[in-house]
Structure 1
Amino acid sequence: MDEQSRWRHMASAPKDGRRILVTIYPSEQGASEVDLAYWSHGDQFGAEGWRAADSSPGCIIEYAEPELKCWMAMPSASPSRTSMPPPWKGEEDQELDGSGI
């Protein structure tokens, strides 16, 4: 699996505004899923934090840090890839990115 297409801990997610894929923890609202999110430094629409606006046009969704399990860089465009990767299904005590720390 190449560097771009693996899940990583949210602690290492970029907070520079670029869009990334995130796995959302399962909750009473539904199963775990993948969303396209970015870090916002805060503006007239809300406080600093993780947001998603691409999945629901016209609706800005704010995610609290504990709602997000892990992240992955945006995959490059490819005609053979037509959908999002599946959410990370591993257990909390399993390694996400090869780090045992």
Structure 2
Amino acid sequence: MDEPERWRQMPSAPKDGSRILVTVRSSEQGPAEVDVAYWSHGDRFSGEGWRASDSAPGCIIEYAEPELKCWMPMPSANFGRAAAPSPWQGDDAQQLDGSGI
């Protein structure tokens, strides 16, 4: 988390319940967008997986792995003046975290 303003590949996202920013892929339901999500280990309402942070018991918003393109840590508390990050718009995985060369 040394570079908080960089999108990263989803397999490297923390699964400890901490909230992160995610790029939700565009679909027939709308364009790509940024959401706040966390990994849930499951409970009586739903199984293990990614959930939107505004989920509530009885109204859980879950994301399937393929719906999420990439992630970044939540910005620091002094984020107020800066604009929110835009969803990742580049080519998939090769451009996230470097080219892999």
Same fold (TM over 0.5): yes
* Alignment RMSD: 2.0
Q: Are the counterparts in 1 of residues 9 and 93 from structure 2 also a CA contact under 8 Å?
A: no
Residue 49 of structure 1, CA deviation: 0.1
- The TM-score with structure 2 as length reference comes to 0.86
Structure 1 gaps, min length 5: none
Question: Is 1:80 equivalent to 2:76 in the alignment?
Answer: no
Aligned to 1:21: 21
**Structure whose residues are more often helix by fraction:** 2
- Identity level (%): 69
What does the per-residue CA deviation read over 1:53-76, in whole Å, with 9 as the maximum and x for residues that have no partner? 32x677421000010000000000
CA distance in 1, matches of 2:43, 2:94: 36
Say how many residue pairs are matched: 98
What does the per-residue CA deviation read over 1:1-60, in whole Å, with 9 as the maximum and x for residues that have no partner? x60110000010000000000001100000000000000000012000000132x67742
Structure 2 gaps, min length 5: none
CA distance in 2, matches of 1:11, 1:99: 16
CA distance in 1, matches of 2:93, 2:46: 33
**Structure 1 stretches of 4+ moved >4 Å:** none
Q: 1:72 to 1:93 in 2, by over 3 A?
A: closer
